[in-house]
């Protein structure tokens, strides 16, 4: 679809931006428009500036240096622009799902009836009918991303900005999102999406751009064809994987775990993982993957059943420090130090390693995760994907015997996902047991030596 003859909703003119204290421009003289009823997608590697651009349009960049103009024509809609944040936790305000969906329209002056109808419609379209009374804090990340999307849509913004909207969604969630975008286009909304996986939107996106070195280039979907392959590159997966030994790294027997609201999440689940295995744990949004990992490290206790992790029965988190590492689904929950270096050194220092040993181990982990150039930066000034790699470095710096990763691909672009699998393969070769939980299908290639599926509270072999 071309631009001519259509009314624009968003116009970006010669826009440049640099962050405070960081001389180099992240965005350089960008110019583009998005018309009513049109959907534009921006892709680009982690740290390219995609979120920065969306934050600029939403008017949320503080300080720094900017030039040029961003204009929005709301064309009679009550709300000019709404943004789905990359880290949805930072936008959720209310305690229940229905309050969250109703908050926006209520705040901008829709009547009670309109608010209720719009919130209801938004929740239905994201597949959350029946979730209205649920506590948002207790939802899975994929469910939370759906709530946050419903909360943006219920206000009916003229311009809808979506930052990595598929990062936590399973296949059904992605298909639902594409349907929603078709509907929004029909209604005359303008959409701008930033996503590492533009292929998901093929067929609904009108124009695709790549953001690179601060500049936008229009691309065809074909341009990215083949770049999304998981096939191991040089130094990638190794067919000489250590056979898993008989001695288990993890044993769970008859585990029952119920949500505070009574929902049974894990239903008499048993699982045994041998030392040195690399296990891919697949489950749809809300299947209970994160709960299972949290039980393994003692962050939750089961109502019934037994757990033994790295030789410790019914472990408490403090008994596993350094020996069992858990990479959280949301990296921001893991980052709290002033600098990237101290972040990665935290566990080692807690275990009273001398600074002489801390230094090479931390540098090694930072280099492995390709974040050594950020060593002196505050983790909070990094892009989401960069934060994810720092969180991974801080988990692997202590060289844990068992490594648990909860949706580690979220926020990583494709080459980084492949590199992460390469890193994990290398760790496995050195004897680490790895459990990787994901809502995405198993990447092609010989990356793992076991594939298990969590469904209806039970594990089956894939
Ligand atoms: N508050 C900040 N201060 C200084 N630099 C920042 C700040 N926030 C982001 N940056 C830097 O700006 C660059 C662009 O960040 P941005 O979050 O826009 O990237 P992105 O393309 O959205 O990446 P990702 O795919 O990882 O989400 C990154 O190199 C990041 O380190
Ligand atoms: Mg981003």
pLDDT tier for residue 233 given thresholds of 50, 70 and 90: low
Nearest CA to ligand 1 atom 29: 47
204 and 127 housed in the same domain: yes
Give the chain's domain count.
2
Instruction: Report helix, strand or coil for 45.
Output: coil
Specify the pLDDT at position 325: 95
214 and 256 housed in the same domain: no
Answer yes or no: is pLDDT of 54 > 60.
yes
Domain of 296 in residue numbering reads as: 248-461
Query: How confident is the prediction for the chain on average, in pLDDT?
Result: 91
Tell me how far the alpha carbon of residue 389 lies from the centroid of ligand 1, in angstroms: 13
pLDDT tier for residue 259 given thresholds of 50, 70 and 90: confident
Ligand 1, residue 380: give the atom nearest the CA: 1
The mean pLDDT value for 313-338 works out to 92
211 and 264 housed in the same domain: no
For residues 174 and 166, the answer to whether their CB atoms sit within 8 Å is yes
pLDDT tens, residue by residue, 147-203 = 999 999 999 999 999 999 999 999 999 999 999 999 999 999 999 999 988 999 999
Specify the pLDDT at position 444: 77
68 and 152 housed in the same domain: yes
Q: Where are the beta strands (DSSP E) in 85-225?
A: 157-163, 190-194, 207-212, 215-219
372 and 308 housed in the same domain: yes
In a domain, 233, yes or no: no
Nearest CA to ligand 1 atom 25: 46
Answer yes or no: is pLDDT of 2 > 50.
no
80 and 199 housed in the same domain: yes
Q: Please give all residues whose beta carbon lies within 6 A of any atom in ligand 1, as ranges.
A: 19, 22, 26, 44, 46-52, 86, 381-386, 411
In a domain, 92, yes or no: yes
In a domain, 229, yes or no: no
To test the pocket of ligand 1, the residue of 166, 383, 417 to mutate (highest count of ligand atoms within 8 Å of its CB) is 383
How far apart are the C-alpha atoms of 259 and 295, rounded to whole Å? 13
335 and 436 housed in the same domain: yes
In a domain, 237, yes or no: no
Specify the pLDDT at position 231: 63
In a domain, 230, yes or no: no
pLDDT tens, residue by residue, 90-139 = 888 999 999 999 999 999 999 999 999 999 999 999 999 999 999 998 89
Q: Residue 258 is encoded by which pair of tokens?
A: 């119920």
Q: Among 224, 258, 280, where does a domain finish?
A: 224
279 and 322 housed in the same domain: yes
What is the CATH classification number for the domain harbouring 198?
3.40.50.300
For residues 104 and 91, the answer to whether their CB atoms sit within 8 Å is no
pLDDT tens, residue by residue, 376-394 = 999 999 999 899 999 999 9
Specify the pLDDT at position 3: 46
Answer yes or no: is pLDDT of 246 > 70.
no
CB-based burial of residue 148 (10 Å sphere; 0-12 exposed, 13-18 middle, 19+ buried)? buried
């Amino acid at each position: 679809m071309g631009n001519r003859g259509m009314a624009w909703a968003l116009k970006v003119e010669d826009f440049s931006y640099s962050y405070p204290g960081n001389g180099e421009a992240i965005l350089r003289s960008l110019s583009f428009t998005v018309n009513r009823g049109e959907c534009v997608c921006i892709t680009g590697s982690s740290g390219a500036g995609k979120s920065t651009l969306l934050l600029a349009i939403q008017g949320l960049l503080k300080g720094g240096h900017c030039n040029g103009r961003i204009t929005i024509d709301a064309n009679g809609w009550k709300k000019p622009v709404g943004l789905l944040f990359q880290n949805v936790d930072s936008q959720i305000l209310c305690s229940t799902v229905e309050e969250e969906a109703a908050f926006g329209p209520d705040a901008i002056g829709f009547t009670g009836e309109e608010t209720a109808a719009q919130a209801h419609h938004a929740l239905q379209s994201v597949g959350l009918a029946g979730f209205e009374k649920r506590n948002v804090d207790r939802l899975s990340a994929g469910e939370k991303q759906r709530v946050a999307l419903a909360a943006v849509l219920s206000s009916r913004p003229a311009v809808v900005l979506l930052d990595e909207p598929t990062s936590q969604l399973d296949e059904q969630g992605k298909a639902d999102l594409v349907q929603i975008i078709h509907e929004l286009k029909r209604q005359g909304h303008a959409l701008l999406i930033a996503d590492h996986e533009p292929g998901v939107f093929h067929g609904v996106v009108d124009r695709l751009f790549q953001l690179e070195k601060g500049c936008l280039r229009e691309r065809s979907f074909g341009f990215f064809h083949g770049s999304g392959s998981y096939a191991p590159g040089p130094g990638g997966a190794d067919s000489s994987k250590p056979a898993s030994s008989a001695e288990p790294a993890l044993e769970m027997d008859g585990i029952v775990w119920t949500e505070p609201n009574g929902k049974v999440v894990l239903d008499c689940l048993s699982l045994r993982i041998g030392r040195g295995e690399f296990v891919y744990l697949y489950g749809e949004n809300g299947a209970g993957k994160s709960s299972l990992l949290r039980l393994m490290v003692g962050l939750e206790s089961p109502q019934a059943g037994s757990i033994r992790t790295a030789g410790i029965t019914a472990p408490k988190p403090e008994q596993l420090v350094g020996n069992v590492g858990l990479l959280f689904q949301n990296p921001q929950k893991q980052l709290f130090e002033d600098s990237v270096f101290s972040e990665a050194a935290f566990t080692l220092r807690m275990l009273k390693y001398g600074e002489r040993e801390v230094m090479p181990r931390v540098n090694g982990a930072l280099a492995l995760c390709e974040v050594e150039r950020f060593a002196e930066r505050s983790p909070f000034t990094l892009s989401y994907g960069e934060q994810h790699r720092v969180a991974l470095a801080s988990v692997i710096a202590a060289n844990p015997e068992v490594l648990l990763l909860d949706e580690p691909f979220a926020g990583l672009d494709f080459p980084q996902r492949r590199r992460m699998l390469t890193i994990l393969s290398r760790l496995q070769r050195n004897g680490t047991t790895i459990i990787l939980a994901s809502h995405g299908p198993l990447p092609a290639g010989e990356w793992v030596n076991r594939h298990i599926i969590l469904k209806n509270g039970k594990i089956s072999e894939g």
